[in-house]
Amino acid sequence: MKVQLALATNDPNVPATIKNEAEKVLHDVPGVRSAKVLIDIHAPPAGAGTAVIAQRLAGVRHIIAVASGKGGVGKSTVAANIAVALEQSGARVGLCDCDIYGPSISLMFGTRERPMATDDNKIVPIEQYNLKLMSMGFLLDDTSPAILRGPMVTRYTQQFLRQVDWGELDYLVLDLPPGTGDIQLTIVQTVALSGAIIVTTPQEVALIDARKAATMFEKVNVPVLGLVENMSYFVSPSDGKRYDIFGSGGGEREAKRLRAPLLGQVPIDIATREAGDRGIPIVAEDRKSPVSAEFCRIAAAIREKLK
Ligand X SMILES: Nc1ncnc2c1ncn2[C@@H]1O[C@H](COP(=O)(O)OP(=O)(O)O)[C@@H](O)[C@H]1O
d(CA 89, CA 287): 12
The region of 111-119, 162-170, 181-189, 263-271 touching ligand X under the rule CB under 6 A is 263-271
Chain centroid offset of residue 261 CA: 16
Pairing of strands 60-67, 195-200: parallel
Binding mask 199-218 for ligand X (x = CB under 6 A): --------------------
DSSP helix, strand, coil percent of the chain (3-state; round to 5): 40, 20, 35
Nearer to ligand X, 57 or 74 (CB): 74
Nearer to ligand X, 75 or 92 (CB): 75
Q: Considering the rule CB under 6 A, would residue 81 count as an interface residue with ligand X? A: no
**Residue with the CB atom nearest Mg ion in the bound state:** 76
Q: Considering the rule CB under 6 A, would residue 172 count as an interface residue with ligand X? A: no
Nearer to Mg ion, 66 or 291 (CB): 66
Q: Considering the rule CB under 6 A, would residue 251 count as an interface residue with ligand X? A: no
By a kind-dependent CB cut-off of 5 to 8 A, residue 154 interacts, out of ligand X, Mg ion, none, with none
DSSP per-residue codes, 181-234: -HHHHHHHHHS--SEEEEEE-SSHHHHHHHHHHHHHHHHTT--EEEEEEES--E
Identify whether the C-beta of residue 39 lies closer than 8 Å to the C-beta of residue 18: yes
Whole-angstrom Cα Rg for the chain: 21
Phi/psi at 240 (nearest 5 deg)?
Answer: 70, 10
What's 127's DSSP letter? E
Find the binding residues for ligand X in span 94-133 (CB under 6 A).
Answer: 104
Choice from 72, 167, 249, 290 touching ligand X (CB under 6 A): 72
Distance of closest approach, residue 2 Cβ to ligand X, in angstroms: 39
Nearer to ligand X, 184 or 272 (CB): 272
Binding site for ligand X (CB under 6 A): 68, 71-77, 104, 230-231, 266, 268-269, 272-273, 276
